[in-house]
Structure 1
Amino acid sequence: MDRIQLPADPIFEVVAAAAAELGVEAYVIGGFVRDLVLKRPSKDIDVVCVGDGIELAELVSQKLKHKPKVSVFKHFGTAMLRAGDWEVEFVGARKESYREHSRKPEVETGTLEDDLKRRDFTINALGISLNRHNYGELVDRFNGLGDMKKKIIRTPLDPDITFSDDPLRMMRAIRFASQLGFDIAPETFDAIIDNKDRIRIVSQERITDELNKIVLSPAPSYGFKLLFASGLLHLIFPKMVELHGVESIKGNSHKDNFYHTLQVLDNVAQVSDDLWLRWSAILHDIAKPDTKRYHEKVGWTFHGHEEKGARMVPKLFKDLKLPLNEHMKFVQKLVRLHLRPIALVKETVTDSAIRRLLFEAGDDIDALMKLCRADITSKNDSKVKRYLQNFDKVERRLVEVEESDKLRNFQPVITGEIIMETFGLKPSKTVGELKEVLTEAILEGKVKNEFNEAYTYLLKVGEEKGLEVVKTLSETEKGE
């Protein structure tokens, strides 16, 4: 039998000693074993005992020097404690049965064999013995080690039953394939296709949790291609599926925006682990199907897709149960602005255009530039190289103008309160118009964002509008 070298940490010996004292068998099982074999980092340890998992956890706590608190979940028959950097969960071996309209199993006490059978994939149905007579011995009843070597995702039992019982496992199969770069066994993938409609009984939160893990994969396009090929993507994210396909009129075709989006996503993944920047890549062209038009003279256009796409972001986030907070606003901003740097590349870059981009992007300018670089996906290598070199120029100008004008997240020094006090105004449309005129003047470089120069300009604009000055403020009075 294969033996696996456990990490040099006292937690494993302590669990072994506690199990021996209670007269029960104990095994480290599941994802920890998989990651240990694959040499992936892991801090979660699952311990299965053929007996009372909660009793074992409590004795382990007593034997550890720091006597960690044991969190008990009686309904599930599990207990959890922290030991150093490890989070250790204990459960008694069990077997499960499912009802048709629920992915929540009925659980009863079982053998180690029963517990391994209920695991989703063979690579997760591995155990390492913590028993004195065979400590460190690998328990591998379904050839999970062989599947790991072959880089295959496969279910221990009939995949139709596995996925029908718990349809979230279809998402997990694709997630593991995407994270690990594994293939899904043909019969397993066929079962995903056959059972895809069962995903409807799974909560959106659980689906999106798996989807986010796919998005965070090293090359997330692989996971999305599997979702598409299985038909799952059509059910969980139909708006993305609408990007798929090429339409031709009179020999003029547009590119397939689905595969373009996946390429942009992979490009972003090479330079950033930020989940929300990756979601910006997924959604940057999401409105192209709604804005697609064909014109005899210019061919295919997608005018306004960036603005329409930005307006779609809140509903898409709500439907996917993604957070409706600053992360959503970040994605919305990048979708709205993703064409702006590209437009600068195509023309003489004016300071005014640079100022406006800095003003609108604020602290997200670096993320925006990463997205825009990723968006260059032409098959013409010289064209890509030329565009990226032009982006280098734009980024240099961004740095120069930012250092000179400090416009990243700038606020005009003349506030609405100063405008109202100067002209004796109440909150009104006129105040907003004056603020807008000042902002435009600063962005155009007509005046500096400094009090004296900007205030003098305000007085001039007010005079042109026929406003009467009721109080002239000095720079020292502006903060009072």
Structure 2
Amino acid sequence: MTPEQSPPSPPLPQPQRVAIAELLRGIAPVADELGTRFEAAGHELALVGGPVRDALLRRPGKDVDLTTDAPPERVLEIIKGWADNVWTIGIEFGTVGLRKGDHQLEITTYRSESYDPRSRKPQVQYGTSLKEDLRRRDFAVNAMAARLPGHEFVDPFGGLTDLRDRVLRTPGRPEDSFGDDPLRMLRAARFASQLGFSVAPDAVAAMTDMAGRIEIVSAERIREELSKLVCGQYPRQGLALLVDTGLAAHVLPELPKLRLEIDEHHRHKDVYEHSLIVLEQAIAQEEDGPDLVLRLAALLHDIGKPKTRRFEDGGRVSFHHHEVVGAKMTRKRLGELRYPKDVIAEVSRLVELHLRFHGYGTGEWTDAAVRRYVRDAGPLLSRLHKLTRADCTTRNRRKAERLRRTYDDLEVRIERLAEEEELAAIRPELDGNEIQEILGIKPGPLVGKAYKFLLDVRLDRGLIGKEAAAEELRRWAREQGLIEGDA
């Protein structure tokens, strides 16, 4: 039975009525007052989409999304003199934003949108029916509305039933929905991650058949959905859907490539499964909500392994320097997805450093090595701690406990050294001006070389005092032939 043929939804049960009432109470009297203005002007207005869904799920939400049959120019006329502030940055897509008191609202004209196969931009056409506007939405759980000011609940495509069944289903044929906007395939995986819902089999089949269509969507829109997916409550569920349907091959191809072949002669960990576990273990250490940089680093930390895999004698498998290769691949992929430069730099640096701890052995590092570890991590040290701990996925309890104790020991040493020195901002004991004065030189590359030498002294020997640092500098300069005698 198609959504058009499905019987009307039963009356809204009492718990859901309460949830909708609470949602509307939160923005009343603003919503009803605005609804009354639209009604008086001969137009419809309804609360729609995510806010309604989240209210029914009892999930806190900040968005107030409204829809109307009034075109944007008419919306501006209706709210003129009533709204405290108005912005029209999305007006070409039919959206007008406004602020009234403490509330920010977006009003979008009923619409339908689709992609031309040769264009990355959606084509927007306005509609006149709330039902048809709901029909063009991505999933039935997002195709529910509450009319204003009467609060009539509108659910023509069974979204409430889908909420109960925890399933994502398109209002119409999934092929039509995904054809109109291929990004909806990625949104299916994102909502699976955020809500923990399954995706209807016909939608999964359509995603698999149409995966290549995602390439028509801009990198920026893909990035936004991918970030929301990775930062969801159930990211494994969303990522697995991307891989299983073939979408990942187009938006994050490094992920499915982690599914390396494992035969009886070359046994090693399933790198794909290992990466998902590392992601989950990194998430378990988060303290202040989702950390996009940490999660991306956990997911991508081993993407250099397929390129560096070598079969050794005795059936062993090696991945030499996969962290260096992986860091380069991470920079390339995140760059293509148009991530901000700071995110690219931080994620790729964590990927590059994620194996550094394994040189620690059972504590053989000198204090100088510990200082270098802290210096190289810089402001990423806390995240590196979490990533390194998450990277232990061995089922051997004794090995896992040994690694945990060893890293505990490293953190204790870092804390001890931090109390003795300013580890977080390690610098030479002489600055550039002092270097120039001692050596009698002018600003230039030579000052940088001297500065680097003194930084190595600081890392190797800790704080030795300015006089001793000056003497080391003079000794170095004499060895370099820069000065003579006892200058």
TM over 0.5: yes
Q: Partner of 2:7 in structure 1?
A: none
Q: 1:470 to 1:77 in 2, by over 3 A?
A: farther
Q: Partner of 1:462 in structure 2?
A: 477
> After the TM superposition, which residues 65-104 of structure 1 pair with which residues of structure 2 at under 5 Å, given as runs?
67-71=84-88, 74-96=91-113, 99-102=116-119, 104=122
Q: 1:397 to 1:96 in 2, by over 3 A?
A: closer
Q: Partner of 1:196 in structure 2?
A: 211
Q: Partner of 2:335 in structure 1?
A: 318
8 Å CA contact 2:438, 2:470 repeated in 1: no
Q: Identify the range of structure 1 (405-414 vs 87-96) with the bigger mean alpha-carbon deviation.
A: 87-96
Q: Partner of 1:128 in structure 2?
A: 146
Q: 1:277 to 1:118 in 2, by over 3 A?
A: same
Q: Partner of 2:224 in structure 1?
A: 209
Q: What's the offset of the Cα at 1:448?
A: 1.8
Alpha-carbon separation, structure 2, partners of 1:409 and 1:298: 45
8 Å CA contact 1:244, 1:257 repeated in 2: yes
Q: Partner of 2:454 in structure 1?
A: 438
8 Å CA contact 2:266, 2:315 repeated in 1: no
Map Cα deviations across residues 40-69 of structure 1 (whole Å, 9 max, x no partner): 2222222222334553454345345xx333
Map Cα deviations across residues 404-443 of structure 1 (whole Å, 9 max, x no partner): 1222231112245543443344667765554444323222
8 Å CA contact 1:424, 1:469 repeated in 2: no
Letter in structure 2 aligned against 1:374: A
The counterpart of 1:400, out of the listed 404, 410, 416, is 416
Q: Partner of 2:177 in structure 1?
A: 162
Alpha-carbon separation, structure 1, partners of 2:201 and 2:292: 30
Letter in structure 2 aligned against 1:452: E
Instruction: Tell me if 1:269 matches 2:286.
Output: no
Q: Partner of 2:261 in structure 1?
A: 246
Map Cα deviations across residues 246-283 of structure 1 (whole Å, 9 max, x no partner): 334x6331211111111111212222321112111122
Instruction: Tell me if 1:14 matches 2:28.
Output: no
> After the TM superposition, which residues 166-315 of structure 1 pair with which residues of structure 2 at under 5 Å, given as runs?
166-248=181-263, 251-272=265-286, 273-296=290-313, 299-315=316-332
Alpha-carbon separation, structure 1, partners of 2:273 and 2:140: 31
The counterpart of 2:70, out of the listed 51, 60, 68, is 51
SS for the counterpart of 1:444 is: helix
**What TM-score, normalized by structure 2, do the two folds share?**
0.88
Q: What's the offset of the Cα at 1:100?
A: 4.2
8 Å CA contact 1:18, 1:56 repeated in 2: no
Q: Identify the range of structure 1 (151-160 vs 284-293) with the bigger mean alpha-carbon deviation.
A: 284-293
Alpha-carbon separation, structure 2, partners of 1:162 and 1:21: 34
Q: 1:385 to 1:56 in 2, by over 3 A?
A: same
Map Cα deviations across residues 284-340 of structure 1 (whole Å, 9 max, x no partner): 1121111111221582111111122223333222222212x2222212221121112
Alpha-carbon separation, structure 1, partners of 2:372 and 2:157: 61
Letter in structure 1 aligned against 2:131: E
Alpha-carbon separation, structure 2, partners of 1:97 and 1:429: 57
Q: What's the offset of the Cα at 1:467?
A: 4.0
**What TM-score, normalized by structure 1, do the two folds share?**
0.89
8 Å CA contact 1:54, 1:77 repeated in 2: no
Map Cα deviations across residues 347-395 of structure 1 (whole Å, 9 max, x no partner): 4343222111112112221111011011111122332233222211111
Alpha-carbon separation, structure 2, partners of 1:176 and 1:18: 34
Q: What's the offset of the Cα at 1:106?
A: 4.3
Alpha-carbon separation, structure 2, partners of 1:358 and 1:98: 49
Q: 1:263 to 1:455 in 2, by over 3 A?
A: same
Q: Partner of 1:379 in structure 2?
A: 395
8 Å CA contact 1:280, 1:335 repeated in 2: yes
Q: Partner of 1:150 in structure 2?
A: 165
8 Å CA contact 1:100, 1:165 repeated in 2: no
Q: What's the offset of the Cα at 1:149?
A: 0.9
Give unpaired runs (5+ residues) of structure 1: 473-480
Q: Identify the range of structure 1 (369-378 vs 35-44) with the bigger mean alpha-carbon deviation.
A: 35-44
Alpha-carbon separation, structure 2, partners of 1:449 and 1:319: 46
Alpha-carbon separation, structure 1, partners of 2:102 and 2:396: 49
Alpha-carbon separation, structure 1, partners of 2:204 and 2:347: 32
Alpha-carbon separation, structure 1, partners of 2:406 and 2:161: 50
Q: Partner of 1:475 in structure 2?
A: none
Q: 1:22 to 1:346 in 2, by over 3 A?
A: same
Alpha-carbon separation, structure 1, partners of 2:41 and 2:469: 79
Q: Identify the range of structure 1 (167-176 vs 280-289) with the bigger mean alpha-carbon deviation.
A: 280-289
Alpha-carbon separation, structure 1, partners of 2:472 and 2:246: 61
Alpha-carbon separation, structure 1, partners of 2:233 and 2:401: 24
Alpha-carbon separation, structure 2, partners of 1:97 and 1:408: 52
Q: 1:348 to 1:468 in 2, by over 3 A?
A: closer
8 Å CA contact 1:361, 1:408 repeated in 2: no
8 Å CA contact 2:267, 2:315 repeated in 1: no
Give unpaired runs (5+ residues) of structure 2: 1-10
Q: Partner of 2:123 in structure 1?
A: 105
Letter in structure 2 aligned against 1:281: A
Alpha-carbon separation, structure 2, partners of 1:39 and 1:75: 33
Q: Identify the range of structure 1 (399-408 vs 346-355) with the bigger mean alpha-carbon deviation.
A: 346-355
